[in-house]
A and B are shown apart, each in its own frame.
Chain A
Amino acid sequence: GESVGLHLPTLSVQEGDNSIINCAYSNSASDYFIWYKQESGKGPQFIIDIRSNMDKRQGQRVTVLLNKTVKHLSLQIAATQPGDSAVYFCAENTGNQFYFGTGTSLTVIP
Protein backbone atom coordinates (compact mmCIF):
# COMPACT_ATOMS: atom_id res chain seq x y z
CA GLY A 1 0.00 0.00 0.00
CA GLU A 2 0.92 3.61 -0.14
CA SER A 3 2.54 5.47 2.68
CA VAL A 4 1.46 8.95 3.58
CA GLY A 5 3.06 10.15 6.74
CA LEU A 6 3.00 13.20 8.93
CA HIS A 7 6.09 14.58 10.59
CA LEU A 8 4.37 15.75 13.78
CA PRO A 9 1.39 14.06 15.38
CA THR A 10 0.59 17.15 17.50
CA LEU A 11 1.09 20.85 17.08
CA SER A 12 0.27 23.68 19.47
CA VAL A 13 0.28 27.28 18.33
CA GLN A 14 -0.65 30.59 19.85
CA GLU A 15 -3.76 32.27 18.54
CA GLY A 16 -2.81 34.70 15.81
CA ASP A 17 0.39 32.90 14.87
CA ASN A 18 0.86 31.02 11.63
CA SER A 19 0.68 27.22 11.62
CA ILE A 20 2.57 24.87 9.37
CA ILE A 21 1.54 21.25 9.08
CA ASN A 22 3.77 18.91 7.11
CA CYS A 23 3.18 15.72 5.22
CA ALA A 24 5.47 13.32 3.41
CA TYR A 25 4.21 11.09 0.66
CA SER A 26 5.89 8.10 -0.87
CA ASN A 27 4.57 7.68 -4.40
CA SER A 28 6.20 9.94 -6.95
CA ALA A 29 3.39 9.06 -9.35
CA SER A 30 0.80 10.76 -7.13
CA ASP A 31 -0.64 13.66 -9.05
CA TYR A 32 -3.28 15.17 -6.81
CA PHE A 33 -3.16 16.13 -3.16
CA ILE A 34 -5.76 17.30 -0.68
CA TRP A 35 -5.75 18.67 2.83
CA TYR A 36 -8.65 17.87 5.13
CA LYS A 37 -9.68 19.16 8.53
CA GLN A 38 -11.50 16.87 10.93
CA GLU A 39 -13.20 18.20 14.03
CA SER A 40 -14.33 15.97 16.84
CA GLY A 41 -17.49 14.08 15.94
CA LYS A 42 -17.45 15.19 12.32
CA GLY A 43 -16.26 13.89 9.01
CA PRO A 44 -13.16 15.20 7.24
CA GLN A 45 -13.80 18.58 5.66
CA PHE A 46 -12.10 19.59 2.42
CA ILE A 47 -9.74 22.54 2.87
CA ILE A 48 -7.63 22.88 -0.25
CA ASP A 49 -6.20 20.78 -3.03
CA ILE A 50 -3.28 20.98 -5.40
CA ARG A 51 -2.33 19.18 -8.57
CA SER A 52 1.16 17.99 -9.31
CA ASN A 53 1.68 20.57 -12.04
CA MET A 54 1.63 23.29 -9.37
CA ASP A 55 3.89 23.96 -6.41
CA LYS A 56 1.75 26.44 -4.52
CA ARG A 57 -1.90 27.20 -4.14
CA GLN A 58 -3.59 29.72 -1.90
CA GLY A 59 -7.01 29.80 -0.37
CA GLN A 60 -8.60 31.86 2.32
CA ARG A 61 -5.95 31.97 5.11
CA VAL A 62 -4.48 28.71 3.85
CA THR A 63 -1.64 27.92 1.50
CA VAL A 64 -0.55 24.52 0.30
CA LEU A 65 3.00 23.97 -0.89
CA LEU A 66 4.07 20.96 -2.90
CA ASN A 67 7.69 19.92 -3.27
CA LYS A 68 7.78 17.01 -5.66
CA THR A 69 11.53 16.68 -5.47
CA VAL A 70 11.41 15.57 -1.85
CA LYS A 71 7.78 14.37 -1.94
CA HIS A 72 6.65 16.81 0.68
CA LEU A 73 3.41 18.67 1.17
CA SER A 74 2.67 21.39 3.68
CA LEU A 75 -0.35 23.33 4.83
CA GLN A 76 0.13 26.84 6.12
CA ILE A 77 -2.64 28.47 8.10
CA ALA A 78 -2.30 32.21 8.57
CA ALA A 79 -3.42 33.95 11.75
CA THR A 80 -4.52 30.72 13.39
CA GLN A 81 -7.80 30.95 15.25
CA PRO A 82 -9.33 28.77 17.99
CA GLY A 83 -11.75 27.38 15.41
CA ASP A 84 -8.78 25.95 13.54
CA SER A 85 -8.19 23.42 16.34
CA ALA A 86 -8.73 20.03 14.72
CA VAL A 87 -6.93 17.10 13.17
CA TYR A 88 -5.51 17.78 9.74
CA PHE A 89 -4.99 15.03 7.16
CA CYS A 90 -3.18 15.06 3.91
CA ALA A 91 -4.25 12.74 1.13
CA GLU A 92 -2.52 11.76 -2.06
CA ASN A 93 -4.20 10.41 -5.13
CA THR A 94 -2.56 7.83 -7.33
CA GLY A 95 -4.71 6.74 -10.22
CA ASN A 96 -8.11 6.47 -8.65
CA GLN A 97 -7.01 5.77 -5.12
CA PHE A 98 -6.72 8.20 -2.23
CA TYR A 99 -4.29 7.46 0.58
CA PHE A 100 -4.59 9.34 3.83
CA GLY A 101 -2.07 10.14 6.52
CA THR A 102 -2.88 9.51 10.17
CA GLY A 103 -3.26 13.20 10.87
CA THR A 104 -1.75 16.02 12.91
CA SER A 105 -3.69 17.37 15.85
CA LEU A 106 -3.56 21.16 15.90
CA THR A 107 -4.33 22.93 19.18
CA VAL A 108 -4.69 26.69 19.20
CA ILE A 109 -3.84 28.33 22.49
CA PRO A 110 -5.94 31.44 23.17
Chain B
Amino acid sequence: DSGVTQTPKHLITATGQRVTLRCSPRSGDLSVYWYQQSLDQGLQFLIQYYNGEERAKGNILERFSAQQFPDLHSELNLSSLELGDSALYFCASSGTPYNSPLHFGNGTRLTVT
Protein backbone atom coordinates (compact mmCIF):
# COMPACT_ATOMS: atom_id res chain seq x y z
CA ASP B 1 0.00 0.00 0.00
CA SER B 2 1.57 3.26 -1.18
CA GLY B 3 -0.50 5.42 1.16
CA VAL B 4 -1.94 7.40 -1.75
CA THR B 5 -5.70 7.13 -2.03
CA GLN B 6 -7.66 7.80 -5.19
CA THR B 7 -11.41 7.86 -5.61
CA PRO B 8 -13.43 6.70 -7.36
CA LYS B 9 -11.80 3.54 -8.69
CA HIS B 10 -14.02 3.45 -11.73
CA LEU B 11 -16.02 6.12 -13.50
CA ILE B 12 -18.27 5.69 -16.51
CA THR B 13 -19.75 8.76 -18.07
CA ALA B 14 -20.96 10.14 -21.38
CA THR B 15 -19.29 12.47 -23.81
CA GLY B 16 -19.68 16.12 -22.95
CA GLN B 17 -19.93 15.48 -19.24
CA ARG B 18 -17.67 16.67 -16.43
CA VAL B 19 -16.08 14.55 -13.72
CA THR B 20 -13.90 15.11 -10.68
CA LEU B 21 -11.18 12.74 -9.58
CA ARG B 22 -9.89 12.94 -6.05
CA CYS B 23 -6.51 12.15 -4.54
CA SER B 24 -5.25 12.06 -0.97
CA PRO B 25 -1.45 12.01 -0.82
CA ARG B 26 0.67 10.06 1.62
CA SER B 27 0.76 11.56 5.06
CA GLY B 28 3.33 14.33 5.11
CA ASP B 29 3.82 14.54 1.35
CA LEU B 30 3.46 18.05 -0.01
CA SER B 31 3.77 17.33 -3.74
CA VAL B 32 0.97 15.85 -5.80
CA TYR B 33 1.29 14.82 -9.42
CA TRP B 34 -1.39 13.77 -11.91
CA TYR B 35 -0.67 11.37 -14.76
CA GLN B 36 -2.76 9.90 -17.57
CA GLN B 37 -2.14 6.37 -18.82
CA SER B 38 -3.89 5.25 -21.99
CA LEU B 39 -3.89 1.73 -23.39
CA ASP B 40 -0.37 0.79 -24.47
CA GLN B 41 0.88 4.24 -23.55
CA GLY B 42 3.32 5.31 -20.93
CA LEU B 43 2.51 7.65 -18.13
CA GLN B 44 1.82 11.13 -19.46
CA PHE B 45 2.44 13.91 -16.98
CA LEU B 46 -0.46 16.31 -16.58
CA ILE B 47 0.24 18.65 -13.70
CA GLN B 48 2.03 18.99 -10.37
CA TYR B 49 1.21 20.86 -7.18
CA TYR B 50 3.42 21.58 -4.22
CA ASN B 51 1.87 22.71 -0.96
CA GLY B 52 -1.15 24.15 -2.70
CA GLU B 53 0.66 25.90 -5.53
CA GLU B 54 0.88 24.77 -9.13
CA ARG B 55 4.51 23.78 -9.73
CA ALA B 56 4.61 22.35 -13.24
CA LYS B 57 2.34 21.67 -16.17
CA GLY B 58 2.67 18.92 -18.69
CA ASN B 59 0.41 17.81 -21.49
CA ILE B 60 -2.76 18.89 -19.78
CA LEU B 61 -5.66 19.89 -22.00
CA GLU B 62 -7.45 23.18 -21.45
CA ARG B 63 -10.58 21.15 -20.67
CA PHE B 64 -8.77 19.72 -17.66
CA SER B 65 -7.94 21.54 -14.47
CA ALA B 66 -6.70 20.65 -11.04
CA GLN B 67 -6.15 22.10 -7.62
CA GLN B 68 -4.58 21.19 -4.32
CA PHE B 69 -6.42 22.14 -1.18
CA PRO B 70 -5.06 23.33 2.21
CA ASP B 71 -5.36 19.79 3.58
CA LEU B 72 -3.13 18.75 0.63
CA HIS B 73 -5.68 16.57 -1.11
CA SER B 74 -6.04 17.25 -4.80
CA GLU B 75 -8.78 17.11 -7.39
CA LEU B 76 -8.52 16.73 -11.13
CA ASN B 77 -11.48 18.09 -13.06
CA LEU B 78 -12.15 16.83 -16.57
CA SER B 79 -14.82 18.61 -18.59
CA SER B 80 -16.42 18.36 -22.03
CA LEU B 81 -15.32 14.76 -22.02
CA GLU B 82 -14.44 13.04 -25.26
CA LEU B 83 -14.09 9.35 -26.07
CA GLY B 84 -10.33 9.82 -26.23
CA ASP B 85 -10.23 10.88 -22.60
CA SER B 86 -10.92 7.30 -21.58
CA ALA B 87 -7.82 6.26 -19.65
CA LEU B 88 -6.38 5.50 -16.27
CA TYR B 89 -5.65 8.60 -14.24
CA PHE B 90 -3.02 8.28 -11.55
CA CYS B 91 -2.15 10.53 -8.71
CA ALA B 92 1.28 10.36 -7.12
CA SER B 93 2.81 12.13 -4.18
CA SER B 94 6.30 12.79 -2.94
CA GLY B 95 7.85 14.34 0.11
CA THR B 96 9.99 16.90 -1.62
CA PRO B 97 9.77 18.31 -5.12
CA TYR B 98 13.24 17.21 -6.09
CA ASN B 99 14.80 13.81 -6.53
CA SER B 100 12.57 11.73 -4.35
CA PRO B 101 10.43 8.84 -5.58
CA LEU B 102 6.84 9.29 -6.56
CA HIS B 103 4.36 7.06 -4.76
CA PHE B 104 1.33 6.24 -6.85
CA GLY B 105 -2.25 5.53 -6.01
CA ASN B 106 -4.13 2.73 -7.74
CA GLY B 107 -5.74 5.10 -10.19
CA THR B 108 -9.18 5.99 -11.44
CA ARG B 109 -10.30 4.21 -14.57
CA LEU B 110 -12.38 6.63 -16.63
CA THR B 111 -14.56 5.32 -19.42
CA VAL B 112 -16.28 7.84 -21.65
CA THR B 113 -19.11 6.39 -23.74
Contacts and interface: CB of A to CB of B under 8 A. Distances in A.
A binds B: yes
Interface of A: 4, 31-32, 34, 36, 41-46, 49, 51, 89, 91, 93, 96-103
Contacts of B34: none
A34 to B, nearest CB: 5
Contacts of B35: 100
Nearest to B44: A100
Interface residues of B, number: 26
Given A42-B106, A96-B48, A49 B90 contact: no
Nearest to A43: B104
A94 to B, nearest CB: 11
B113 interface: no
Nearest to B35: A100
11 contacts: A4-B42, A34-B102, A41-B106, A42-B106, A43-B4, A44-B92, A44-B102, A89-B43, A96-B98, A97-B45, A102-B42
A43 B99 contact: no
Contact of B102 (A4, A31, A51, A98): A98
Interface string B42-82: 11010010000001101000000000000000000000000
B90 A34 contact: no
Contact of A32 (B56, B99, B104): B99
Given A43-B90, A51-B99, A100 B2 contact: no
A43 B98 CA distance: 21
B45 A98 contact: yes
In the complex, the 8 A-B pairs of residues with the closest C-beta atoms, listed nearest first: A43-B104, A102-B42, A100-B43, A32-B99, A43-B106, A46-B101, A44-B104, A100-B42
B105 interface: yes
Most buried by A among B43, B99, B106: B43
A97 B56 contact: yes
Nearest to A35: B101
A102 B56 contact: no
